[in-house]
Structure 1
Amino acid sequence: MSPLDTDDLHRIFEKLDLNEDGLVSLDELRWLLEQNGVHNTSLDELKLLVGKTSLDRLDFLVFYDAILKQNMGDQSEEGEESNDLERDLAKAFKVYDLNGDGVISCEELQSVLSQLGFLNEHCGWDCRSMIKRYDVNSDGVLDFEEFKIMMLITNS
């Protein structure tokens, strides 16, 4: 499976979302998998794999990323590039995780962005909204996986 960029994934999501409710159902996801040679996947198996009955755009990107990682071997050049990217993202994550607790809080994000000159009184950025957008598990902070998604989507 070759990696798709974020624009490709958004187009796929839109085509799968037949009823245009902003969600891809397990039926729609199963159809996509069958079109790509993954047969005999039950809805129950998909629900266990996905952990819910439908995916929003961000969930869909996370699901794709998980499938891609599963199918890509670490010995390939793509795997090495992926490992390099992972190391770079881990270093960047540590810059934002000021207290080293493994998550980025709104305060930490605001502090680092201010130090970097990206936030000022005229900016209008809301760190809580930024975190909420990528906070898949809704715990109010970004863990490394959520941070990765944010950085990869933002930079695509």
Structure 2
Amino acid sequence: MSLLSKNDLRRIFDKLDKNGDGLLSLDELNWLLGIIGVQFSLHELESLVGKPCLGFDDFMFFYDSISNRNTKVETEDDGDEVIVDGDDGESELAEAFRVFDLNGDGFISCEELQSVLARLGLWDERSGKDCSNMICFYDSNMDGVIDFDEFKNMMFHTIS
């Protein structure tokens, strides 16, 4: 139920791995977390991660653990397992929305989306057109920006 694909995570990992050694130091990881609004001291982060640096598989596991921290698996009557979010994901989605809403006006513009994706290493000239297309696709009221309800629809459509 990851919001980012493995390829997205690989590009982020490679962008953060400044020295190209195939490992992310806690400083590099903490820098990324700071950008997306998650604050840890290096000591807290080290106790959370349990090691001084992360390989790509460790990075994927860390991402999955923090992106699914409020979810649990329940078994339905027919034996199928389903992922249940304790608060319907509303608070996590609001937190994610605020990461993209750089000016705090309650909307995500194409420029804001592009800026955040660029900071994560997920934007280039080709994908710039994708930002406009994504905004247009999910902009149900056709005002040129994504509001929180449209963002929720986009995220639920993406992870389904």
TM superposition score normalised by structure 2: 0.45
* Higher percent of residues as helix: 1
> So what's the TM-score if we normalise by structure 1?
0.46
